[in-house]
Structure 1
Amino acid sequence: MSTQTSLALWAPRLLSVLRIVAALIFMAHGTQKLLGFPPGSGGGPAAMSLPWIAGVIEIVTGVLLTIGLFTRPAAFIASGTMAAAYWMAHAPRDFFPVNNGGDAAILYCFVFLYLVAAGPGPWSVDAKRR
């Protein structure tokens, strides 16, 4: 078997790995905001504020994406949340993402947008439901 063939066989599985890892790290942003875990700086946001709503979205979509349930709609919501976070919180600080702290928001936005198109991969609840 050629290297290309071997890599092609692993592509769907690595899509699942990308989804799971990105979702777990994304969910950690929400748990830090709302649950104080992992411990970070400062207290949690006020209930119903934009950061609080973002935290709820990060936890809910993070859980759904981790298990691969309703992957496409969850990824669409997560992607949009990160686009809004970038333009509202990061872009006004500085033009360059590396200077405004928005590089993670941009990466999450486009990884989740990719998942909208690509789907969850084979290691997912969605795949088992089909």
Structure 2
Amino acid sequence: MSLTPAFYATWSPRLLGLLRIILGFLYIQHGTAKLFGVPHVAMFDGLQLFSLMGAAGVLELVGGALLLIGLFTRPVAFILSGQMAVAYFLMHAPAAFLPILNGGEMAVMYCFTFLYLAAAGGGAYSLDAVRGKAGA
């Protein structure tokens, strides 16, 4: 097997689509944990829908679902990237600047992975591709 430009042209959109699907699936879990208590995360017990964390849960649930199916990938990913930047600076950065010291590594990873999807689009296996709007 030779790793030719044709190989990369074939597999890059597929792996981008897989990245989007997995990211959406993982992100939905944050929303369902906050809004429905499934899976149960004790720190979200008693969370109010009309609070900053409640709004985050709605973004995570709806945005994660849209990413999972690949609908409006670019604008959704851009919004979620901003959400994660805000989460990092509000929840993690006050404890310490470096993510390794403040527990914010995943917030940073989500932020920049969403930013990548905002630029690259949804890849293969997306409703955006079916609609003919590559990552719209």
Shorter-chain TM-score above 0.5 = yes
**Post-superposition CA distance 1:21-69 (Å, at most 9, x none):** 0111111111101111112214041221100000000001000000000
CA distance in 1, matches of 2:46, 2:4: 48
- Percent of pairs identical after alignment? 53
Gaps of 5+ in 1: none
Q: Which runs of 5+ in 2 are unaligned?
A: none
- State the superposition RMSD in angstroms: 1.2
With normalisation by structure 2, the TM-score equals 0.90
Q: TM-score of the superposition, structure 1-length normalised? A: 0.94
CA distance in 1, matches of 2:40, 2:73: 28
- Confirm whether residue 68 of structure 1 aligns to residue 75 of structure 2: no
What residue in structure 1 maps to residue 3 of structure 2? 3
What secondary structure sits across from 1:47 in the alignment? coil
Where 1:3 maps in the other structure, the secondary structure is coil
Q: Segments of 4+ in structure 1 off by > 6 A?
A: none
Equivalent AA in structure 2 for residue 32 of structure 1: A
Cα distance in 2 for partners of 1:4, 1:30 equals: 41
Partner Cα separation in structure 2 for residue 24 and residue 126 of structure 1: 17
Does 1:124 pair with 2:120? no
The equivalences for 1:1-80 within 5 A come to 2-5=2-5, 6-42=7-43, 43-80=45-82
Instruction: Report the Cα offset of residue 92 of structure 1.
Output: 0.4
- Bigger drift between 48-57 and 5-14 goes to 5-14
